[in-house]
């Protein structure tokens, strides 16, 4: 966590140095624009415990989850851990286009920050809660390749982990079945991951100052970033999908990135994610949800596949985006500049603009691209 | 080199795509397929035809940018492919073609050379229908006795029928409008058909929405299904789409379901292709 914060600060410093310090402060915002900008905060938002996870927010569970996260205990070969792909010193990503556990997967590693704010998890939203999403890579043959039975057997024979489990879940791994054990371990992992929150940024300082009409403070925000922000909420209409304090609508869209898999076949994206969700025993509608009312499962009950779901992927948060390269679901765009250029030159005929998405080719100038990237670097 | 890589990935995609339709299921005609250069470069005609057959399609209305894709596919499976002439010579002309008079010569040449059931799918809105190019397109469809596949608003549909009251028009995506406006347009023009491509609000979980059901019942001879393979990856959605369509069609009376599944499309195709040879 500490190193994570350091990385973010380093990014901010680089951004500030790169900004022409003597540039005139000529960027102003209308009242309407100010309202839009302030809607991207405050940060951090209040994070409440996950009602579907009875150990969410529990300090012992958080510590236990942290140990599990860093341990190779959860991989069949004992050669991989969550950290293999989610490296704390790389903003909980691995810097690779596509990650490799037991073998290479088809998608880019998503940063684990601010996950408590998600409704869906994974590039395809194949999970509706963090504990289920935490189980998925453990059981994926390409990632950690374990089985519930293997993990249960291993836990029963590991005295320290077994004691930790028993203390938190008030039940012995020798009594719980393998299905319950893997879910409980997922809940401990989730409790830990919920604590990973990106720090306040230069944008947050600017946003709060703007809300207070503190001109002295707002003037500290780099001019290029301000110009980029103006594009973000204006010409770029980026805020239509990247909205709110976490800069995402939490849903899915077709960003015009091809979705053939290098390993063969099609990555169905959200279409496949909903298929997985509907078959999973680990959703908010199932018996492992610790909230007896299961009210948080409403979206899961009603979500359906549509033609649009085919090839849609998560609209990612832009928080800390400078530190999570490469980008897009398949890691095909190495830099933020590449991402902005992609949207600037968007091939609209790859999308279906009638009857669906909000994306339009932006046709940004080179200076506008530089400014938009400068803004993104302050998030 | 890029083409080689694309072909390789596309080939893997074909191998990896496991979903199949049950050939014994209801036959379908897909009225909205594109086979543009980025599709045929990676998915050769034989494999494309195999996918269409895997979906259990009786016929597929195919157009492409450029027309080469349609011709490749038609040559590979003349029993399956209903060729439709797209005005676009390449991707990127979707928003400008109606202002480019060179399109006219392109269409005239292709129509005099090959057999087509229609011109489209083209995109036009509002006053686009009064451009030289659109006027000529409407006249050419009349001259050759073929239909127009129009991705447009109601204003363009009105404009087409104003220029040729006897035109036959397939309204792509049913204009992406609501059942009330579709109803009004179908009532106004007896030669207007409506495809349901890239729309799913008419059915949820295999159940047809009440307003759409009434519309289908009141105009049983006008609707047809379509996938719209606007990006190459969407070729791999054709089978899924066919199965999804079969799901909601089962919720309709058999005769009406068969109309929407294939009979309305084959009626339009047979009218357009009647007495046409490869070289008109």
> Residues A346-363: pLDDT tens digits?
988 888 766 556 788 899
Contact call for B233 and A259, based on CB within 8 A: yes
- Pick from B16, B200, B236: which is nearest to A306 by CB? B200
Residue-wise pLDDT tens digits, A37-67: 999 999 999 999 999 999 999 999 999 999 9
| Residue at token pair 């944008």 | A203
Give the torsion through C-alpha atoms of B23, B25, B27, B32, to 10 deg.
-90
* pLDDT at A20 > cutoff 60: no
Q: Residue A294 pLDDT more than 90?
A: no
**What is the C-alpha to C-alpha distance for residues B126 and A242, in angstroms, rounded to an integer?**
32
Residues B176, A306: C-beta atoms closer than 8 Å: no
Terminal-residue alpha carbon distance, chain A: 17
- The answer to whether the CB atoms of B12 and A265 lie below 8 A apart is yes
With contacts defined as CB-CB under 8 Å, which chain A residues touch B236?
265-266
Cα–Cα distance, B212 to A259 (Å, whole number): 33
Is B41 domain-assigned? yes
d(CA B49, CA A317): 41
Please report the pLDDT score of residue A337 as a whole number: 98
Q: Touching check for A251 and chain B: CB below 8 Å?
A: no
**In terms of CA atoms, which chain A residue is nearest residue B228?**
A352
Please report whether residue B38 resides in a domain. Answer: yes
Measured between CB atoms, does B94 come within 8 Å of chain A?
Answer: yes
Chain B CB contacts of A253 under 8 Å are none
The answer to whether residue B278 sits within a structural domain is no
Under the banding of pLDDT at 50, 70 and 90, the label for residue A5 is very low
Q: At what angle do helices A178-193 and A59-70 cross, to 10 degrees?
A: 100
Best residue of A354, A360, A363 to probe chain B, by most B CBs closer than 10 Å:
A354
Window 338-377 of A: residues touching B by CB (8 A cutoff) are 347-352, 354-356
d(CA A40, CA B271): 58
The number of beta carbons lying within 10 Å of the beta carbon of residue B30 is 29
Is 70 exceeded by the pLDDT of residue A1?
no
In the beta sheet, which residues pair with residue B29? B59
Distance between start and end Cα atoms, chain B? 39
Whether residue B191 is predicted with pLDDT greater than 50 in this model: the reply is: yes
B178 reaches A (C-beta below 8 A): no
Tell me, yes or no, whether B133 lies in a domain.
Answer: yes
**DSSP output for A44-71:** SPPPPP-TT-TTTT-HHHHHHHHHHHH-
pLDDT confidence of A296, banded at 50, 70, 90?
A: confident
Q: What is the CATH number of the domain that holds B182?
A: 3.20.20.140
Q: Residue B139: how many CA atoms within 13 Å on its side-chain side?
A: 10
Interface test with B, best of A260, A308, A309 (most B CBs within 10 A): A260
* pLDDT, tens only, B236-272: 999 999 999 999 999 999 999 999 999 999 999 999 9
- The rounded percent of chain A whose pLDDT value lies above 90 is 85
Q: Is residue B214 part of a domain?
A: yes
Q: CB–CB of A261 and B13 under 8 A?
A: yes
In angstroms, the CA A181 to CA A187 distance is 10
- Residues A118-157: tens digit of each pLDDT: 999 999 999 999 999 999 999 999 999 999 999 999 999 9
Nearest to A373 by CA among A335, A324, A328: A335
User: What 3 state SS string does A162-200 have?
Assistant: HHHHHHHHCCCCCCCCHHHHHHHHHHHHHHHHCCCCCCC
Q: B147 φ, ψ to 5°? A: -90, 165
A313 touches chain B (CB under 8 A): no
Domain positions in chain A are: 2-46+201-260+312-376, 59-193, 270-308
Chain A residue numbers with beta carbons less than 8 Å from the beta carbon of B199 are 307, 355
Containing domain of residue B138, as a range? 2-273
Say which of A310, A347, A354 has its CB closest to residue B173: A354
CATH (one of 2.40.50.140, 3.40.50.970, 1.10.3720.10, 1.10.760.10) for A59-193: 1.10.760.10
Kindly state whether residue B279 falls inside one of the protein's structural domains.
Answer: no
CATH topology for A2-46+201-260+312-376 is Cytochrome Bc1 Complex; Chain D, domain 2 (1.10.760)
Q: Is the pLDDT of residue A17 over 50?
A: no
Report whether pLDDT(A3) > 50. no
Using 50, 70 and 90 to split pLDDT, how confident is the model at B92? confident
Q: How far is A125 from chain B (nearest CA, A)?
A: 19
B233:A310 CB<8 A: yes
Strands (DSSP E) along chain B, which ranges? 28-34, 57-63, 81-85, 118-124, 147-152, 169-171, 192-195, 203-204, 207-208, 223-224
Non-local (6+) Cβ contacts of B44 within 8 A are none
Q: Does A104 touch chain B (CB under 8 A)?
A: no
Question: What is the tally of structural domains in chain B?
Answer: 1
- A2-46+201-260+312-376 matches A59-193 in fold: yes
Pairing of strands B169-171, B147-152: parallel
The answer to whether residue B164 is domain-embedded is: yes
Write phi, then psi, for A248 (nearest 5 degrees).
-160, 150
A355 closest CB neighbour out of B17, B173, B231: B173
Chain-chain contact of A355 with B231 (C-beta, under 8 angstroms): no
């Amino acid at each position: 966590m500490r190193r994570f914060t350091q990385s973010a600060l380093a990014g901010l410093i680089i951004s500030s140095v790169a900004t022409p310090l003597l540039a005139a402060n000529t960027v102003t915002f209308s009242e309407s624009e100010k309202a839009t900008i302030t809607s991207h905060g405050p940060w951090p938002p209040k994070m409440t415990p996950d009602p579907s996870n009875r150990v969410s927010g529990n300090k012992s569970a958080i510590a236990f989850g942290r140990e599990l996260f860093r341990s190779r205990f959860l991989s069949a070969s004992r050669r991989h851990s969550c950290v293999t792909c989610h490296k704390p010193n790389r903003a909980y990503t691995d810097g690779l286009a596509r990650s490799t556990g037991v073998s290479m997967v088809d998608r880019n590693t998503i940063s684990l920050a601010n996950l408590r704010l998600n409704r869906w998890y994974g590039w395809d939203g194949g999970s509706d809660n963090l504990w289920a999403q935490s189980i998925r890579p453990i059981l994926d043959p390409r990632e950690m390749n374990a089985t519930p039975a293997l993990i249960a057997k291993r836990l029963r024979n590991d005295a320290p982990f077994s004691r930790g489990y028993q203390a938190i879940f008030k039940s012995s791994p020798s009594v719980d079945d393998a299905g319950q054990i893997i879910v409980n371990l997922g809940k401990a992992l989730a409790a830990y991951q919920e604590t990973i929150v990106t720090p306040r940024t230069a944008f947050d300082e600017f946003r709060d100052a703007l809300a207070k009409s503190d001109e002295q403070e707002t003037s500290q925000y780099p001019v290029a970033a301000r110009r980029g922000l103006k594009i973000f909420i204006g010409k770029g209409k980026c805020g239509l999908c990247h909205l709110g304090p976490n800069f995402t609508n939490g849903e899915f869209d077709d960003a015009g990135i091809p979705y053939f898999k290098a390993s063969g076949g099609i990555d169905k994206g959200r279409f496949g994610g909903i298929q997985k969700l509907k078959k999973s025993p680990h959703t908010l509608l199932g018996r492992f949800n610790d909230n007896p009312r299961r009210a948080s499962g409403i979206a899961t009950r009603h979500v359906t596949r549509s033609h649009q779901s085919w090839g849609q992927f998560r609209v990612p948060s832009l928080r800390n985006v400078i530190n999570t390269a490469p980008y897009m679901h398949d890691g095909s765009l190495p830099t933020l500049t590449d991402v902005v250029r992609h949207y600037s030159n968007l091939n609209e005929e790859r999308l279906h603009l009638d009857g669906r998405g909000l994306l339009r080719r932006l046709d940004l100038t080179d200076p506008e691209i530089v400014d938009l990237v400068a803004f993104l670097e302050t998030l | 080199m890029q083409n080689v890589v694309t072909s390789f990935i596309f080939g893997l995609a074909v191998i990896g795509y496991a979903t199949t339709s049950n050939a014994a299921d209801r036959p379908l005609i897909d009225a909205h397929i594109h086979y543009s250069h980025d599709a045929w470069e990676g998915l050769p005609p034989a494999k494309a035809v195999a996918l269409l057959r895997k979906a259990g399609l009786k016929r597929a209305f195919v157009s492409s940018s450029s027309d080469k894709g349609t011709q490749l596919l038609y040559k590979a499976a003349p029993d399956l492919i209903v060729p439709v002439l797209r005005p676009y010579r390449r991707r990127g002309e979707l928003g400008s073609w109606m202002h480019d008079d060179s399109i006219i010569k392109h269409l005239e040449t292709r129509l005099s050379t090959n057999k087509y059931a229609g011109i489209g799918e083209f995109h036009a809105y509002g006053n686009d229908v009064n451009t030289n190019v659109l006027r000529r397109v409407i006249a050419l469809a009349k001259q050759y006795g073929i239909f127009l596949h129009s991705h447009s608003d109601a204003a363009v549909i009105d404009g087409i029928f104003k220029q040729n009251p006897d035109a036959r028009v397939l309204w792509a995506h049913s204009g992406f409008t609501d059942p009330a406006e579709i109803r009004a347009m179908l009532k106004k023009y007896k030669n207007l058909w409506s495809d349901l491509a890239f729309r799913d609000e008419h059915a949820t979980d295999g159940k047809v929405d009440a307003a759409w059901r009434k519309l289908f019942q009141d105009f049983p001879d006008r609707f047809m299904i379509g996938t719209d393979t606007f990006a190459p990856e969407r070729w791999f959605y054709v089978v899924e789409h066919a199965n999804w369509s079969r799901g909601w069609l089962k919720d309709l009376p058999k005769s009406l379901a068969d109309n929407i599944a294939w009979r309305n499309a084959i009626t339009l195709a047979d009218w357009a292709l009647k007495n046409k040879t490869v070289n008109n």
